[in-house]
Each structure stands twice: as C-alpha cells, then as structure tokens.
Structure 1
Amino acid sequence: MAPLNEDQLENIRNERKIQIMRAALKVFAANGFKLTKISLIAKEAGISHGLVYHYFKSKEEVLHESLEWAMELNETKKYLNELSEMAISPLEKIHNFTKFALSSSKYESSDIFRIIQHLEHTEDVPSHILEFTKNVGMMYVEFFIPIFIEGQEAGEIIQENPEELVGLFLTIISGVMADDPDYWHENMDHKISIFLRMITTR
C-alpha cells in the first residue's frame, strides 16, 4: 500500500476535526458548558481522549471552533439573504423564517440554539465565546427589526416596541428549537399561524 501524500493526510485531518466538532456540538448542547468534559466529546466522536488534544488545546477551544464551524455551515445566513429579496409581505417573511427554522432544527442548528441558551445562564464562560454567541443573536435581531417595523407600518404587526417584539419572537423560537420541535412538524403552517398571533393584528 502506497504511503499517503500530504493532500490525503490533510483531508484525513480535516475530516477527523469535523468529526470531533460535530460530536462536541451534540455534547455541549446536551450537557452545557460546565458539565461537558473532553472525555465525553471523545466518546461521542468514537475516538481516544488524547486524540482530541491533538486538534484542540482545551474544552473552551473545542466549543469556540465548533460554534464558528457550525455557523459557517449553517444555512440560516444564506436563507436570510434569500428571504430579504423575496417580494412578499413582512408577515409572510416572518412566517417563512419560522417554518425554515423549525424544519431545519434536526441538524446543527438546534444544537447551536441549545448551546447559546446554556451559555446565557452559565458563569465563567470565556468572554470571546460569549461575544461570539452575542453576535449570532444580533445577526437575527438586526435582520428582523426592519421587517417588524415594515409590518407595523403595513398594519400586520401590533404596535409595540419592535425590538421587544423581535426579542420575544426569537426567544420563543429558540426555546422550541432547544427543546423538541417534532410537535410542530404536523400541520406546521397552521400551528405557526396560531403562534404568530401574539405579534399580529389578525
């Protein structure tokens, strides 16, 4: 058997690192930051404890790089760009995003939301990790505030502080994604319409 060349070795290293990060997201989402140990991540990834340290210096580094990797892969950014270009009403944009978020929550998206919720209630989390998760949240807030204001001007959204309405809307969606979204998958459009009545005028 011929020895592997440098490109093949690099591909193997990248695949192994992704294997670890995917496992880490699951473990951090299930256990939170404080209760997660490198040994749990290694077990989930099906590798040795020591091999994790070949790719990451610490638990904190695993978490930060895993979140960055997941957000880069996450389809949400792409979808938000597409949604902003759609010639539909503000309420339809909100409805479509809600459906997208709850439909895609089987993958890394739900782990990201669960981890962020854990971190919001955890002490001694490194500041750069908190800053990253804060920026993730602000991405959604900054996208939706203009849509909510447009919806208010069109008479679709109730006349309350738009920033508070967006915060409430995103908090509830985060809670659903962090829990068990299976309930929403049957008759999803109808259930989302009921859910959105908390912010709509009809």
Structure 2
Amino acid sequence: MKINMAPLNNEQIEQKKNERKAQIMRAAIKVFADNGIKLTKISMIAKEAKVSHGLVYHYFNSKDEILSESLEWAIEEKKADQVFHDLKESQNSPLEQIKQFTQFAFTESDTEITSSVFRIMQNLSSSNGLPDHLKDLVEKAGQFYIESLYPLFYEGQKTGEIIQGDTEELLGVYLTILSSIMADDPSFWKEHMEWKVEILLRMISAR
C-alpha cells in the first residue's frame, strides 16, 4: 500500500534547513579543532557531517565562511558559560578548577563542542593576517576566557595555592602556553594527559 506523505510547510522546511546547517557547523568545529585551520578541507567537513560535498556549498561559499559562521554559532550557544558554571559548582580549590579547565581544553568529545571552539580560538590567536571579522571574534572569545579565569587565578593567589605576582600577567603566560601547544601539536597531550597537565600547572603552583 502506498502511503502519501503530506508536503512540508514553509516552517518545517526552514527547520530542516537550520538542522542540516547546524549539523555541518558542528562537524566543521570538530574538524577544524582536530586538524587546524590550514589543513582542513571542505571534503573533510562533508565526510564528518555525513553529507555530500555539494550540500556543504549549498549552505556556505567557502572554507573561511564555514569557519566564521561555525564559530559564531558555537559561541552564541553559550556552552562555555556552562563549563565555568560547573567548575564553580564543583567547589574545588582554584588550582584544581584551573587543572580541570586545562584538561577540558585538551579533551575531544563528539557531544561537547566547547573544548573544540577553545582549541580553534587558541590556534587562531597565534595566526597572522586574519580577516577583521575573525579577529574581532577571537578578541571577543579571548576576553571571555580572561574574565572567566582571572577570578580563579586571583583567588588562588589569595589562598597561597598559586604563585604571587601580577595576576593578569600570570594568566597571560598560562594562556600563551596553551595557545602555543594547540597551534603546534595538541595530539601530544592525549596520552598521559593528567600527568602532563600536572607538569604544566607547576609553573603557576606555589606548592
């Protein structure tokens, strides 16, 4: 028996389009984070999203446009806010929260895009010649992480967990090192991550 399907109305069609575009952007975030900006190809994004190469071009005109729109979409999701909320709710010491954030920064997850966005942003922050819209996006995201991490560094200094000195400068050194690692070879950190993070955090720990 043949079943006649009712045609989709305009609202349903628009919803389908938005869902498919989000599927591509989620895949793009993962591929950019795993492979870096330069090595990422649209064919890799299409494969990760499980769509055709041509369908990606239906929604985006270029790789730069995919990168820009995907980052804007991910940031607007405000999932990074939840990360810092969860750290605060854990009621762990400032240094332990910084450790958890550092591990999070190197962690890959199919369901969590926030760590991937952070890795992409750190990679972009060390890139030259960015278009103005991407430069603004990186600065906006960088300011968010500075404002979110600064209280942890400041409180850690007050409790004696973190070495004394200019808090903002110390945080800058920490983020610069993270950026350098991610721009170079973040895959190195996947093996024995906790031990390597412990070594990394010795540069700020007073104990």
TM-score category of the 2 structures, normalised to the smaller one: 0.7 to 0.9
The residue that corresponds to 2:135 in the other structure is 130
The residue that corresponds to 2:95 in the other structure is 91
Aligned residue pairs total 197
Residues 159-174 of structure 1 mapped to structure 2, 5 A cutoff: 159-174=164-179
Report if aligned partners of 1:28, 1:36 keep a CA contact under 8 Å in 2. yes
The residue that corresponds to 1:21 in the other structure is 25
Structure 1 residues not aligned, in runs of 5+: none
* Secondary structure of the structure 2 residue equivalent to 1:157: coil
Is 1:179 matched with 2:186?
yes
Structure 2 residues not aligned, in runs of 5+: none
The residue that corresponds to 1:12 in the other structure is 16
In the alignment, the residues of structure 2 paired with residue 39 and residue 96 of structure 1 have an alpha-carbon distance, to the nearest angstrom, of: 34
* Secondary structure of the structure 1 residue equivalent to 2:191: helix
* Secondary structure of the structure 1 residue equivalent to 2:135: helix
The residue that corresponds to 1:142 in the other structure is 147
AA partner of residue 190 (structure 2): D
The residue that corresponds to 2:68 in the other structure is 64
**Percent identity over paired residues:** 49
* Secondary structure of the structure 2 residue equivalent to 1:156: coil
TM-score using structure 1 length: 0.77
Q: Identify the match of residue 80 of structure 1 among 78, 81, 84.
A: 84
Report if aligned partners of 1:38, 1:59 keep a CA contact under 8 Å in 2. yes
In the alignment, the residues of structure 2 paired with residue 66 and residue 109 of structure 1 have an alpha-carbon distance, to the nearest angstrom, of: 12
In the alignment, the residues of structure 2 paired with residue 170 and residue 59 of structure 1 have an alpha-carbon distance, to the nearest angstrom, of: 27
| 1:153-177 C-alpha deviation (Å, 9 max, x unpaired) | 2222111221222123234445269
Evaluate the alpha carbon distance shift between residue 148 and residue 26 of structure 1 in structure 2; reply closer, same or farther with a 3 A threshold.
Answer: closer
Two-structure CA RMSD over aligned residues (Å):
3.0
TM-score using structure 2 length: 0.75
